Amino acid sequence: MELKLPSISGAIPWSLVIKAVAATAVWFWMPWWVFAALIIIFFYQGVSDPDLSYNRTLYAFLATTFWLSFAAGAAAEVLGALILAEVMIIIGLRHLRWLKKALLYRFLSALIWLTFLATFFWLTSFTGYVWYGFVTLAVVAYFIARDLIRVAVGREQEKFLAAVLSFILVEMAWAVFLLPIEPINKAAIMLLVFLVAQEYLIRSETGRKIAPTFYLTITSIFVLVFLVILFVSSWGM
């Protein structure tokens, strides 16, 4: 059955905001390893969620920020700004600070995935980091999938399903990588693929019957959004 993550009431503590701001400042002005060490300290300090450790989400987040550290200019600054939100969410989830934790985790996993994808397609389009990028992509996809499947369907077949999902994501990323369109639109396509997979996992919770209309609806939305992305893209890059 779906993991029932507890909801914690109360106002967001200022300590969480301070930690997120401090970590983001370190990200912009200090080496990546200093940022990573600070995040690990913040993450493992204090009371933790008894149901889900979020360790693998942390690994995916650190791998994403490491890859992002190779970016430069406006792209790095824009994507780096997302780190503030990601740090607040992941530390808050770990330390039981958020309401509706399952929903927020889904948002966090999508946000980390988007941050990595935007960096990945930007770097692989303008640098020679293609193979390094795909290796990191496989790692990030697997770690996110592990915790996402844990939230959706529990511990059973967690590793196997995560391996299958990450393999599919990497294969689709390779196909999208070959498209002659802008990096940001490639990232949008892969985010769409991830969101569809995420929705399917949540709906296919063990013991829950999926309505036949779900498949028609999700497929129609996917095709429509996919065609819109292709339509607004500049081809022949």
Summarised one tens digit per residue, pLDDT across range 45-83 is 776 665 666 788 889 999 888 888 877 666 667 767 788
Predicted pLDDT at 52: 64
Averaged pLDDT for residues 115-135: 82
pLDDT band at 8 (very low <50, low <70, confident <90, very high): very low
**Pairwise CA distance, residues 47 & 135, whole Å:** 33
Where is average pLDDT lowest: 111-125, 162-176, 192-206?
A: 192-206
Tell me the H-state helices in the chain: 14-29, 32-44, 55-68, 74-94, 101-126, 130-153, 158-177, 183-203, 212-232
pLDDT of residue 5 exceeding 50: no
pTM: 0.80
**Pairwise CA distance, residues 171 & 169, whole Å:** 6
Predicted pLDDT at 9: 43
Predicted pLDDT at 237: 56
Averaged pLDDT for residues 133-147: 88
Contact 108, 204 (CB under 8 A): no
**Pairwise CA distance, residues 106 & 111, whole Å:** 9
Determine how many CB atoms are found less than 10 A away from the CB of residue 123: 22
